[in-house]
Amino acid sequence: MERVLVTGADGFIGSHLTELLAKEGYQVRALAQYNSFNHWGWLEDVGCKNDIEVVTGDIRDPHFCRHISKDIDIVFHLAALIAIPYSYVAPDSYVQTNVTGTLNICQAAMDNNVKRVIHTSTSEVYGTARYVPIDEAHPMQPQSPYSASKIGSDAMAMSFFNAFNLPVTIARPFNTYGPRQSARAVIPTIISQIASGMTEIKLGDVSPTRDFNYVEDTCRGFLALARCEAAIGETVNIASNDEISVGDTLTLIRDLMGRDVKLITDDTRLRPEKSEVFRLWGENKKICELTGFAPLVSIEQGLQHTIDWFVKPDNLAKYKAGVYNV
């Protein structure tokens, strides 16, 4: 039985990946960020909680990273600060967590002879598409401190492959959505406002397009890459090879929920002009050719699954629909 470490397991994608790995028979060590409440984030809600080892700590500490990487075969490194608006006001936090944290994980993996490291990137590193669909050769464009920190963390991870032959793969998911997603993301923002009975839905710019991927598809992409020797030393998109505007996403959610709502532009939610990523449409040819991966969940199916989760009172109560969360 292979032993895996999932950093950021307490987060949205990390908690779903932890569930998939446990289901697939892996022995999982799941890292949640240390806090004095001993709260495990979304791991509190997973069905496999009693079948995994949960540890709490912080990837900013290199000694801790070395400790949790012992006796591990595969590291899935998802721990990161991800909110773009917060990166405008706290950029140093993003460098510490995303860049230095990745350095610590890679150094620890090398010191402990870990067999594979799957490092998590983001489609935000591409910035507004210069051409579509966006393949892995597309230029990097740091349009926010967050995306700059992820470009830096990707480079740090790949440097360990090039300099030290650490078996690294960079998984670059496009916009993932689904149950348990952070409140600061657009799909939970829309659904939670409608489910809370609001008739005026506050959003920022709704013209940008995104390549949305249901979380189960994203997690299957991670696992496919971890099982693919040919992916070592490669950067690989996990994408649907499609795009939809934020405005059309609102319309689709409204129709699925059967609610007549009005869009209100909230200026506080607008990004600075040169920071907004206006178009994301990812090509998934590389992951399909390397692993045989293909998305299984359509946008309509995925949104319905997500809505079904959010409208449950216990879940909706965890979100502050009337508060803009950066």
Whether residues 164 and 263 fall in one domain: no
> Would residue 47 count as lying in a domain?
yes
Which uninterrupted H or E stretch holds 304? helix 299-310
Q: Give the model confidence (pLDDT) of 199-225 as tens digits.
A: 999 999 999 999 999 999 999 999 999
Q: Is the pTM of this model over 0.95?
A: yes
Q: Whole-number mean pLDDT of the chain?
A: 97
**pLDDT attached to residue 241:** 97
Whether residues 91 and 119 fall in one domain: yes
Tell me how far apart the alpha carbons of residues 236 and 231 are, in angstroms, rounded to a whole number.
Answer: 8
Q: Look-up: residue for tokens 């140093």?
A: 92
**pLDDT attached to residue 321:** 82
155: exposed, middle or buried (C-beta count within 10 Å: 0-12, 13-18, 19+)? middle
Whether residues 8 and 62 fall in one domain: yes
**Structural domain span for residue 263:** 178-210+243-279+298-316
**pLDDT attached to residue 94:** 98
**pLDDT attached to residue 217:** 98
Q: Give the model confidence (pLDDT) of 287-326 as tens digits.
A: 999 999 999 999 999 999 999 999 999 999 999 887 877 7
Residue 283 one-letter amino acid: E
Q: How many residues appear in the chain?
A: 326
Whether residues 113 and 94 fall in one domain: yes
- Has residue 133 got a pLDDT over 90? yes
Q: Which residues contact 263 (CB under 8 A, 6 or more apart)?
A: 200, 201, 203, 206, 247, 250
314: exposed, middle or buried (C-beta count within 10 Å: 0-12, 13-18, 19+)? exposed
> Would residue 307 count as lying in a domain?
yes
Over range 164-178, report the average pLDDT.
98
> Would residue 291 count as lying in a domain?
no
Whether residues 111 and 228 fall in one domain: yes
Q: What is the CATH number of the domain that holds 194?
A: 3.90.25.10
The percent of residues above 70 in pLDDT, for the chain, comes to 100
Whether residues 165 and 52 fall in one domain: yes
Whether residues 156 and 255 fall in one domain: no
**pLDDT attached to residue 320:** 86
Residue 166 contacts residue 110 (beta carbons within 8 Å): yes
**pLDDT attached to residue 196:** 94
**pLDDT attached to residue 324:** 76
Whether residues 206 and 158 fall in one domain: no
| Cis upstream peptide for 91 (omega within 30°) | no
Burial letters 125-139, b for 16+ CB under 10 A, else e: bbbebeebbbebebe
Q: What is the CATH number of the domain that holds 18?
A: 3.40.50.720
> Would residue 87 count as lying in a domain?
yes
Residue 278 one-letter amino acid: F
pLDDT-based confidence at residue 168 (cuts at 50, 70, 90)? very high
Whether residues 152 and 77 fall in one domain: yes
Residue 78 contacts residue 172 (beta carbons within 8 Å): no
**pLDDT attached to residue 184:** 84
Whether residues 119 and 134 fall in one domain: yes
Whether residues 19 and 106 fall in one domain: yes
Over range 179-190, report the average pLDDT.
94
* Interstrand relation of 3-7 and 27-33 (parallel, antiparallel or unpaired): parallel
**pLDDT attached to residue 323:** 80
Partnered with residue 263 across adjacent β-strands are: 201
- Has residue 278 got a pLDDT over 80? yes
**pLDDT attached to residue 138:** 98
Whether residues 232 and 148 fall in one domain: yes
Q: How many domains does the chain have?
A: 2
- Has residue 65 got a pLDDT over 90? yes
